[in-house]
Structures are given as C-alpha cells and as structure tokens.
Chains A and B, each alone.
Chain A
Amino acid sequence: MRFLLYLMLCLVPLALVIARGPDENNKIFPYPINQVTLDNGLIVISIPFDSPGIIAVYTVVRAGSRNEVEPGKSGFAHFFEHMMFRGTEKYSKDAYNEMLKSIGADNNAFTTDDYTAYHTLASSDVLETLLDIESDRFMNLKYTEEDFKTEAGAILGEYNKNYSNPDMTIYEKLRENAFKKHTYKHTTMGFLKDIQDMPNQYQYSLTFFDRWYRPENCALIVVGDFNQTKLMELVKKYYSNWKRGTYTLDVPLDVPQTEEKTLNLPWKAQTLPQVSMGYRGPAFNDTEIDMPAMDVLSQVLFSETSDLFQKLVIEEQLVEYIYGGQQDHRDPELFMVDARVKEKANIERVRAEIDKAIEQSKTTPVSAERLASIKSHMKYQFAMGLDNPNGIARTISHYVQLTGNPESVNNIYSLYEKITVEDLMNVAKKYLNKKNRTTVIMTQEEGQQ
C-alpha cells in the first residue's frame, strides 16, 4: 500500500501532462509509453516527461558482443560503435561534429553484451536536426579504410585504459572458462588478439553494418518535451526510407556446465586478493519467475542488509566489499559473486562463508518481513532513478533491447511482486550449485610489492 501511495505522489506533477493515470493496472513505470512500429520494422517509442525544453533521444541497436558469432571477430560490436561517428556522404565526420557542436548536445554511445545504444541529450527545438543526422548515419554510414584503421588504435587505447584494474582481466578469464560455445565467452571489449587484428577487418566491418544496422533490429526512443504529432511526422520523414535487412542470427547455445572450475590468477601489481564466482544463471524473461527471483535472491544474500554482508564486511571485516547478482541478458548468463578479501590467508574462510550462506538459502525461508523490505527497496530504487529524461530513456532502452517490448519493465516488476519465499529457495537450488560455478581467485604475485 505504501508503494501505491508513493506512485500517486510521484504522479502529481504529471497529472498536468498525462491524461492516463500512471498507476493504471498497477504498473511501476509511471509515464505513458507511446509505441509505433514503422512499416520497415523500426520501433518508435516516445514518452512525455516534464523537462521543459529538453529531450533525450536514444537509438538502440539490438546487436552487442552476443552477435559476434564468427571466430576472430570478438569486440566488433563495440568497435562498430566507434565507427558510427566517422561520417556519411551527406554529413562528413567533421560536419556531423560541427552540427552537434552547434546545437550544444551531449552525445555519446555505449555497447553491452546484447545491444549498442547511441544517446543524445539536447534542446527540444533541435529535434529535427537530431533525427536528420542520426537517421542519416544509420542508413548511409561511410568511412575510409584509413579512418577505420586509425579508429582501431583508439579501441586498443580503450582496452589499455581499463587494463590496470584487475577486474577486467578477472572477468575475461571467468567468462572464457564459464562458456564453451556461447558468445558470452568473450567480454564486450573482445579478446585482445582480436582487438589487435581489428585494423585488418575493414571488409568485415561493412558486413557487420549491413547485417545489424537495420530498422527491424533497432528502436528509436524519445523522452522529454516534444509534440507527439510533430515527432511522428519527422520520424516518418527521416526513417521511412531505411531498408530492412535479411540476416538472421544463430547464437550457439551453450551446453550445461557439469563440473566446478577454479582458476588462480596471479597479478603483477600490488593488489588485495579477489574472489570472483560466476554461476550459470537464467536468461531475462518477463513472463517466467526465475530471473526476477534471482534478482530478489541477490538482495537476500548480498545486499548491505544481508547476514553475509553484516558478517564479512561489518563485524569480522574480512572483506572490503562483497557483491552478488546477475545482470539481465537475452541468453543465460552468469550470476556473479565478487569479494575483495583483505588478507590472503582469509580467502578460503571467505569462500566457505559464501558457500554456507548460499546453502542456507536453499533450505531456510526468508521472513515475510524481509521479503517485503526487499521488494520495497527495489521499487523505490527504480522510481528514484526516473527523475530526468536521460535516466528514463536509458531504462526503457534496457527493456526494449531485451524483448523488443517496453512493457517488459512493468511485467518484470509485476513478477517481483509475486515472488514467494519458495521461489527464492527453488532458484537457489536450481542455479547456485558448485558444478554450475566457475571461480577465479586473483592474488598478487609472490615477490611483488
């Protein structure tokens, strides 16, 4: 009930601009979602938000490192994200940058395992300019082989800038060993050997663009202050000529893991030991209970209010931090547990405590009060991130890339509400087993200071 009250309060200012009540059908997402699919398959989502004079525009391409199915091509989705800033015949790289500069936009992009997002925050009155230059590069991208090779240097630079932090290498090793066939075997950055070979992959880059940068594989999301009728006129004007593609993706599904894998990773520079574990978990699904139950279970086991956190971080202070949880993915990915241990001598003790807590979660039901507290936390946390158009656009992008349907955000939070203590024990038994686990233990090399 408290949450319903919250939703109502949250919606007070929006009553001025929203005809429909946000708590209609008990949905968590408090703003109306307009969705139109163009004839060419492009999904167009628009969400009015009280940010006078400002809009966020996201273009989501449902292609990430998951799509890198060919050997030697890992990291290509991310590389391609960089190439998208290299210009077209109509607007060269410099002309594109000049236009962005003239409108004072905040413009960038990011790539994940499952998707790539191009995002802009700008003044509402430059909407047409934005749609013009964005649609143009998605349809008519053109770059020289020389530009392509130069950009490969920047990619290596991005890999290099992350390298001093051992987290990247730990994650690389963990994934490489946890998966045999699936493309989640490599990180979004890709294998280093593939990154180093990127300058030689100009022809493949053209293939990549041709396969994935197609309207039926993309969604345009606009949030903020705009006129819906005008928006759709502009979208049709600039995006209707975008031609559908023909490629279909066949991502190899992985075989189930049958035995525990443990790796020791020596680190040359000074560092605290780190224990990272990945359990093969479920895929995101907004109609089945497994993934939302795993989200709630991660709170039970590893949030700041968990018994494990209390014991390891607060009372005995054996670890600097502990984290556990699974990111939403289109295919089954990993439920991760990470702990930075203060003393090497305590690594096994910490592992044993984690194991003990996980085993208890399979047989000991959490209290109804604790479950209610977790559900409240998740709802308020979600709602508190929706105070600006960029945050809203990013949230909707996340769900659209997963299922193609923005309503997944409401569906998944509806499932959270239904989760029972039995669901939590069931998913703990189903997924958090040692034979389903890959562990990387990173410690400083002997003799290093």
Chain B
Amino acid sequence: MKRLHLFSTLFLFAMALTTLFHETSQGAIRITEIHSSNSPLVTFRVILRAGEIHSPAGKEGLNALTAYGIAQGGTQELSYQQVVEKLYPWAANINVQVDQEITTFIGNVHRDHLEEFYKLFTDLLLRPRFDESDFSRVKDLGLNYLRNTLRSTSDEQLGKQALNAMLYAHHPYKNTEFGTVQGLSSSTIDDVKAYYKKIYTQGNFWFGIAGGYPKSIIEKIKTDFSILPDVPFNEVALPKPELINNLEVMIVEKPARAFAISMGHPILLTRKDKDFYALLVANSYFGEHRTFNGVLMNRLRGDRGLNYGDYSYIEKFTGGVGSGNVFPDLNTPLRHQFFSIWLRPVQPENTRFAIRNALFEFKNFVEHGLTNDDFEKTKKFVLNYSKLWAGTLNRRLGYQMDSEFYGTDYFIDRIDRELQSLSVEEVNAAVKKYLNNKNIKIAVVVDEGKGGEILNGMVANAISPIKYASSVSPNILEQDKLIEKFQLSINNERSKVVKASELFEK
C-alpha cells in the first residue's frame, strides 16, 4: 500500500505543478480550462452539446454533416484549402469527433502560433463557409463510411454498430454517429445551414482549453462566442431503453473470413453514480481491455486460442478497432450507458462455442462475483492503472469535461476516492444489481449464407464442440464439455438474420 500511495501522491504533485488555474467560468459560454504555463502546446476541446440524437427525422446524420462541414471546411474569409495551407507549416490540426449526445471540435497547436490558430479555429466555428463543394466532399465521406467501411470492410466495427442498433432500436441512440444512408442522402446544404443556425448557440457550446496559453484568451473566448444566439442549453429527454427478453440475436451476413461477435445490454449507470466505481473494478476483473487480467481474455484466448482478444466494458468504448488507444474514451459520454462483451473474430466453426464460452463465464461471474483476493488485486490494479490514463494535458482536459458532463468531480480523482473505501461486498452487489446474464442482445457478423445455420443451431441448442488446431490440457477439455452444451435461451421471435446492406439504411 505504501508504494501505491506514493504513486498517487507523486502524480497529484505533478498536476499541482502544472495546473495553475482551473475553473468553470460563469458567463454566457461555459469554459473549462487547465492552465499550464510551462507547456509549449495548447489544446482545445470545444464541445457542442448536440449529437446525432439532435438530427431531425429523415435527416439522420445531419449533425455529423454539419460538424464535418465546419472542421473540414472553410471560413468566410478563407476556403478549406487556404485553411489547410495556413495550418500546415505549424503542423497544427483541427479534428472533429461526432457522437450521440455531443460533438467535439479538437485543435492542437504550438503556442508560437496560438493567436493566428485561435482566430482560424474560432472563425470555423463562428463564421463557417459552408461551401457547396466542401459539403459534397463531406457527404461522400459519410456515405462511404456507412456503405463501404461499416457494412463491408470493418467487421468488428460492424458488430459493435449492429449491437448498438439492437440495444437502442426504439431509443434516440438507435443510429450510428453518422446517421443513416437515406438520412445523409436526403440532407442538403440548406439543411446544414438551418441546423447550424438552430443548434450552434451560446448555450450549446462549451469551450475547453489546456496548455500554455495567455490567460487573457479566456475573456476573448467569452466575447467572441457572445455573437451566437443566446439560447440556453436544453437537454433532450431520453426514454428508457426497452427491456430485453432472453437472448435476442441478430446475425449479419456479408463476405467474411472469420466471425465477429458483440453482445450486451443497457445499464442505467454512469460515472456520476457511486456504483459505477464498484462495477469498474468488477469489469476490470472480468474483461479489462487489451490486458491478460480479464477472465474472458484468459479463458477464451489464453486457454483456448479462440481469437485475438476478448473484453468487456461498462460504458461506450470506441477504441480498439484501428486505434491504439487502450484507455477509456474521451468525450463520448452517454446518459444511458450499456454493458458489452466484445469477442474478436473467431474461426467460423467455433462461433457458437465462443458465444457459449463467453456466456458461460459471464453467468459464473454474475452468480459468484469476485473473491476477496480477486477484489483486492483488481482494486489495486485499477487505482494504479487509472493514473496512466491522463498522460497529456489534452487527455486530462477530455476527462475533466466528461466529468462535468456527468456532474461529478474529476474522473481519475473520483476513482481514487471511491476505490479507497470500496468493499468486495459492494462490488458483488453491484454486479448482481446491474449485470444480467439472462437477457442479452447478441450481434454476430458471419459469411454470406451462414446466418440461418448459426441461428438455427443456437435456437435448437445443438451441441457445439470447439475445434482445436492442437491438443490442450485435460482440465480445459473437461470444461469444454460443459460449455459446448451450455443452455442458450434464444428468443426466436426477436432474433433474425439480416444482410449487412440492410443495416444503417434508414
């Protein structure tokens, strides 16, 4: 414990050295700032408190089109190409991240060029060009993402998005962050301009800045953003996600060499809630992302070599596919979160075994929870590991703003505080309260023509032995006999086989 405590102390000391000023300013536009006078870099995270759930019906994806039209467009003074040419010698960058509830404009610059960069960045946000040509390019990007990337060339993303579509079928989160093919297709430049006028208001904007900026910039931000309509932020009410009845399965068919699997259920629990931190420890034990700590990883990959990795999450996680990020997401907060299990693609012949293996372990986890020894070790891991998540000012700013979104104190500090007094009984009670191994939605991406066979096999509870390339130990083979016939209570009425081309259409 001494070492762990020293680590915390050192880290806090580091932050105290660099963070000279941090507050949420009172004024028309909300501002979160982390000032670090010795940093040569300045990072911006400007959140618009509007996301895909604000895209109007029939115009799904309009939020993303507008945001990308800004971030990859021009200002009233400069065309997109001129903006790119200005940023280039500074190696400064402007990016956008679209999500269900919020949209985040991200900028990074060396402070040598802060003044010019700030003008460019804020001109894009406050005086966007909305050029017809830029609109056309951005619309193509969105449509290609849905039609070609998501439906065809990224099976793991497809599995995750298919699960999202299932979990939130009757909820505002039902679409991808880029809407639908038909919604994007029907959106026009006039729709974008109207959306901008309605949504990009003082009340919806939330400015985040970190690094070595002059403090005078804060007043300038307030003044500059005061030209926007003074409409207060108005939160959209969300209905509860519908209840799941047994195992509801969607098999998605497309040409595929190996089969990707995602499963889960909504949980009405966020970083604001005390129990979130109990579940954070429990989930780390069961399925910490990209580590060999988790039960799932050890049983499916470590013991059986079923695939590349097996993890679980208690909130949205967009990293992992084509991203080296292993730490919790920045700026994808949801008021309605979900628990999920992600099995990376498995050999076709082992698909049903892999699903059963994950559900077998999940059942065991929900029923038995953690031992005190598991709890102590995992708690210690999470306490130390979480200190690594905010390794740059940019990341710290992102977590800070997410914490404010949820109405809690700084995420990493909150983890430290909650875990210090957490007990194994609280963790196991949270597992039983929030995790449900009986009512789950499952999305499986399979090769063309294989969907019926797999779904029928699951419905019939047909035995599904694993096929090994080589021998494994007798105790694993013994357990395999239980897993291969593990009872699956499939809700046949709510299960289906679809073509990938049918998803994300409207």
Contacts and interface: CB of A to CB of B under 8 A. Distances in A.
Q: Do A and B bind each other?
A: yes
A157 B473 contact: no
B470 A157 contact: no
A98 B377 contact: yes
Contacts of B470: 146, 149-150, 152, 199
Contacts of A246: none
A387 B39 CA distance: 9
Contacts of B386: 104
B422 to A, nearest CB: 16
B144 interface: yes
Interface residues of A, number: 80
A52 B92 CA distance: 27
B308 A161 contact: yes
A389 B384 CA distance: 17
Contacts of A225: 10
A408 interface: no
Contact of A9 (B111, B153, B301): B111
A152 B305 contact: yes
A125 B4 CA distance: 9
**Residue among A54, A315, A390 having the largest count of chain B Cβ atoms under 10 Å:** A54
B383 interface: yes
A150 B303 contact: yes
A12 B385 contact: no
A305 B301 contact: no
A97 B301 CA distance: 15
A383 B113 CA distance: 14
Nearest to A144: B473
Interface in A104-146: 104-108, 121-126, 146
B255 interface: yes
A84 B38 CA distance: 40
A106 B147 CA distance: 36
A143 to B, nearest CB: 12
Contacts of A124: 10
A153 B85 contact: no
Contacts of B89: 372-373, 376-377, 380
Contacts of B377: 98, 101-102
A104 B305 contact: no
Contacts of B391: 51, 54, 121, 388-390
Given A2-B112, A164-B154, A271-B153, A104 B388 contact: yes
A446 B153 CA distance: 17
A227 B269 CA distance: 43
Interface string A142-180: 000010011111101110110111100000000000000
A224 B225 CA distance: 39
B21 interface: no
Contacts of B345: 157, 160-161, 163-164
A272 B145 CA distance: 10
Contacts of B137: 313-314, 317
A152 B154 CA distance: 23
A238 B166 CA distance: 53
Contacts of B393: 387
A256 interface: no
Contacts of A51: 14, 391
A6 interface: yes
B307 interface: yes
A253 interface: no
Interface in B378-431: 378, 380-388, 391-393
Contacts of B307: 153-154, 157, 160-161
A323 interface: no
Contacts of B392: 387-388
A447 interface: no
B88 A383 contact: no
A153 B305 contact: yes
Contacts of A199: 469-470
Contacts of B380: 101-102, 104
Interface in A45-61: 50-54
A266 to B, nearest CB: 12
A272 B148 contact: yes
Interface string B279-311: 000000000001111000000011111111100
B155 interface: yes
A342 B140 contact: yes
Contacts of A98: 377
B243 interface: no
A381 interface: yes
Interface in A364-381: 372-373, 376-381
Contacts of A165: 153-154
B305 A103 contact: no
Interface string A8-19: 011011000000
Nearest to A126: B3
Contacts of B305: 149-154, 157
* Chain A interface, >50% SS class: helix
A378 B144 CA distance: 31
B258 interface: yes
A3 B388 CA distance: 31
Contacts of B255: 268-269, 448
Contact of B347 (A125, A149, A156): A156
Interface string B250-263: 00001111101000
Contacts of A104: 7, 380-388
B456 interface: no
A286 B286 CA distance: 47
Given A10-B40, A161-B307, A270-B147, A146 B3 contact: no
A384 B110 contact: yes
Contacts of A380: 89-92, 110
A431 B111 CA distance: 38
Residue of A98, A151, A153, A390 with highest tally of chain B CB at under 10 A = A153
Contacts of A105: 384-385, 388
A270 B152 contact: yes
- Name which of A85, A93, A164, A389 has the most chain B CB atoms within 10 A of its CB: A164
B440 interface: no
Interface in B197-246: none
A158 B258 CA distance: 10
A303 interface: yes
A13 B91 contact: no
A10 B108 CA distance: 15
Contact of A304 (B88, B90, B378, B473): B88
Contacts of A121: 388, 391
Contacts of A314: 80-81, 133, 137
Given A126-B3, A383-B110, A317 B140 contact: yes
Contacts of B385: 104-106
B482 interface: no
A270 B140 contact: no
20 contacts: A6-B110, A10-B40, A13-B38, A104-B7, A104-B381, A121-B388, A125-B3, A152-B469, A157-B346, A160-B307, A161-B345, A164-B156, A271-B148, A304-B84, A314-B133, A315-B133, A317-B133, A380-B89, A388-B391, A449-B501
Interface of B: 3, 6-7, 9-11, 13-14, 17, 38-41, 80-81, 84-85, 88-92, 108, 110-112, 133, 136-137, 140-141, 144, 147-148, 151-156, 254-258, 260, 290-293, 301-309, 326-327, 344-347, 377-378, 380-388, 391-393, 468-473, 501
Lowest 10 A-B CB distances belong to which pairs?
Answer: A104-B384, A153-B305, A53-B10, A160-B258, A149-B470, A13-B38, A52-B14, A380-B91, A157-B307, A381-B91
Given A52-B14, A151-B305, 20 more contacts: A6-B40, A52-B10, A53-B9, A53-B11, A53-B14, A98-B377, A102-B380, A103-B384, A104-B385, A123-B384, A125-B6, A146-B472, A150-B305, A160-B346, A164-B155, A269-B152, A270-B152, A320-B141, A380-B90, A387-B393
